[in-house]
Amino acid sequence: MTSPLLPYEAVIKDIRQETYDTATYTFAFKDPAAHAEYSFRPGQFNMLTILGVGEAAVSLSSDSGRRDCFQHTVRAVGSVTGSLARRKVGDVVGLRGPYGRGWPLEAAGDRDVLIVAGGIGLAPLRPVIEHVLRSRSAYGRLLLLYGARTPRDLCFTGDFERWHQGKDLEFHVTVDRIDGQPWEQNVGVVPLLLDKVKLSPVNTVALICGPEVMMKFTVIDLAKRGVPGDNIFVSMERNMKCAVAQCGHCFFGPKFVCKDGSVFSYPEIEQLWGKGV
Ligand SMILES: Cc1cc2nc3c(=O)[nH]c(=O)nc-3n(C[C@H](O)[C@H](O)[C@H](O)COP(=O)(O)OP(=O)(O)OC[C@H]3O[C@@H](n4cnc5c(N)ncnc54)[C@H](O)[C@@H]3O)c2cc1C
């Protein structure tokens, strides 16, 4: 991308409904040269522009190794995301990026990768799952602990069967409550799934994304189990405007979430999260 603030026209190639309010959109840039030039790392995000409406930060949710297209998984909560939800295949929106540091996959090399995600928080971690599955011998165990409020709030259920198969991934899923829906797996909040796995703490790198309260409880539990703070990474969400560390909308203490994050190691944000974590 030539200018970090310039949105590029991107065509919606496919839309897959994940839940009642969340869908995965497959995009390709209209300009083949811009598309060929574009790449991202797992955990990075784009700014989505809807002309006349505004911009919103959205994580890349697809395999970063895929070159023909990329995906965003978006929950319709407000003006920009609600406007995207009314678009159809073939429509054009603006995208600029990628921004952010992404997940520290280099630090995770050779170690066990523990992914803990809640709700749509699995979106920025799905590229990690696909990356590790593709480069399987470069990592230790891959553990995925995922949960949502109810069965109908689970995202990426289309991937579950593939992720459940085989010895490459240990996958546990839970819901807070069943709400009368068919469900035969775990019930309880996501951090409780840590009881389902046997960790080798010093050799584990934990990547966490979801509601802040879920991330805090997960960090507390991991620390109790002996996972060093340096091995724990969380993705923070803050109101974002420019995404290039100019406007200050996303300040988290002295840090810009857009440039210094959105992924932070636990020691980087421990003080900002406050005592008790
Ligand atoms: C790094 C990063 C990555 C992200 N990745 C994703 C992602 O992959 N997918 C995703 O879906 N989201 C993601 N988000 C969150 C997304 O950017 C925000 O939800 C964004 O605010 C949506 O923009 P919007 O214009 O649709 O919503 P806004 O219109 O800005 O609304 C945002 C919130 O404010 C509330 N609100 C809006 N108007 C009012 C009002 N008048 N009164 C009271 N409340 C109101 C809405 O209910 C909503 O909860 C990410 C955020 C960050 C920082």
DSSP code per residue over the chain: ---TT--EEEEEEEEEE-SSSEEEEEEEESSHHHHHH----TT-EEEEEETTTEEEEEEB-S-TT--S-EEEEEE--SHHHHHHHT--TT-EEEEEEEES----HHHHTTSEEEEEEEGGGGGGGHHHHHHHHHTGGGSS-EEEEEEESSGGG---HHHHHHHHSSSS-EEEEEES--TTS---SEES-GGGGGGGS---GGGEEEEEES-HHHHHHHHHHHHHTT--GGGEEEE-----SSSSSSS-TTEETTEEHHHH-SEEEHHHHHHHH-TT-
* Judgement on whether residues 82 and 113 belong to the same structural domain of the protein: no
* Judgement on whether residues 48 and 158 belong to the same structural domain of the protein: no
Which protein residue has the closest C-alpha to ligand 1 atom 43? 78
pLDDT computed for residue 277 by the predictor: 57
| 44 Cα–ligand 1 center, Å | 17
| 50 Cα–ligand 1 center, Å | 14
CATH number of residue 54's parent domain = 2.40.30.10
pLDDT computed for residue 254 by the predictor: 83
* Per-residue pLDDT tens over the stretch 105-121: 988 889 999 999 999 99
Which protein residue has the closest C-alpha to ligand 1 atom 4? 58
| 117 Cα–ligand 1 center, Å | 18
Cα distance between residue 175 and residue 154, in whole Å: 8
* Judgement on whether residues 36 and 109 belong to the same structural domain of the protein: no
Residue where one domain finishes, among candidates 75, 99, 123: 99
* Judgement on whether residues 199 and 153 belong to the same structural domain of the protein: yes
* Judgement on whether residues 23 and 112 belong to the same structural domain of the protein: no
Go through 246-272 and write b for each residue having 16 or more CB atoms within 10 A of its CB, e for each that does not.
eeeebebeebbbbbbbbbbebebbeee
* Judgement on whether residues 87 and 124 belong to the same structural domain of the protein: no
* Judgement on whether residues 89 and 186 belong to the same structural domain of the protein: no
Beta carbons within 8 Å of 168's beta carbon, 6+ residues apart: 133, 136, 142
* Judgement on whether residues 61 and 23 belong to the same structural domain of the protein: yes
Asked if the structure places residue 244 within a domain, the reply is no
pLDDT computed for residue 272 by the predictor: 79
* Judgement on whether residues 162 and 230 belong to the same structural domain of the protein: yes
**pTM attached to this predicted model:** 0.94
What residue type is 102 in one-letter code? Answer: G
pLDDT computed for residue 1 by the predictor: 54
Indicate the number of domains in the chain: 2
* Judgement on whether residues 89 and 128 belong to the same structural domain of the protein: no
Asked if the structure places residue 241 within a domain, the reply is no
| 267 Cα–ligand 1 center, Å | 27
CATH number of residue 153's parent domain = 3.40.50.80
Residue ranges making up the domain that contains 192:
105-235
Residue to mutate (ligand 1; options 50, 81, 236; most atoms within 8 A of CB): 81
Asked if the structure places residue 248 within a domain, the reply is no
Cα distance between residue 259 and residue 99, in whole Å: 7
Q: Walk along the chain (277 residues) and give the pLDDT tens digit of each residue.
A: 567 788 999 999 999 999 999 999 999 999 999 999 999 999 999 999 999 999 999 999 999 999 999 999 999 999 999 999 999 999 999 999 999 999 999 888 899 999 999 999 999 999 999 999 999 999 999 999 999 999 999 999 999 999 987 779 999 999 999 989 999 999 999 999 999 999 999 999 999 999 999 999 999 999 999 999 999 999 988 888 888 888 888 888 888 888 888 899 999 988 878 755 5
* Judgement on whether residues 196 and 123 belong to the same structural domain of the protein: yes
* Judgement on whether residues 95 and 111 belong to the same structural domain of the protein: no
Which whole-number Å values give the CA distances from 221 to 122, 161, 228, 265, in the listed order?
Answer: 19, 28, 11, 16
Asked if the structure places residue 86 within a domain, the reply is yes
87 by Cβ neighbours in 10 Å (0-12 / 13-18 / 19+) ranks as middle
Query: Closest ligand 1 atom to the C-alpha of 261?
Result: 1
| 260 Cα–ligand 1 center, Å | 20
| Cβ proximity of 191 and 218 under 8 Å | yes
| 130 Cα–ligand 1 center, Å | 26
Ligand 1 binding residues, C-beta < 6 A:
45, 54, 56-59, 72-75, 77-82, 120, 123, 237-238, 240, 262
Give backbone dihedrals phi and psi of 75, rounded to 5 degrees, phi first: -95, 130
pLDDT computed for residue 230 by the predictor: 95
Cα distance between residue 156 and residue 167, in whole Å: 20
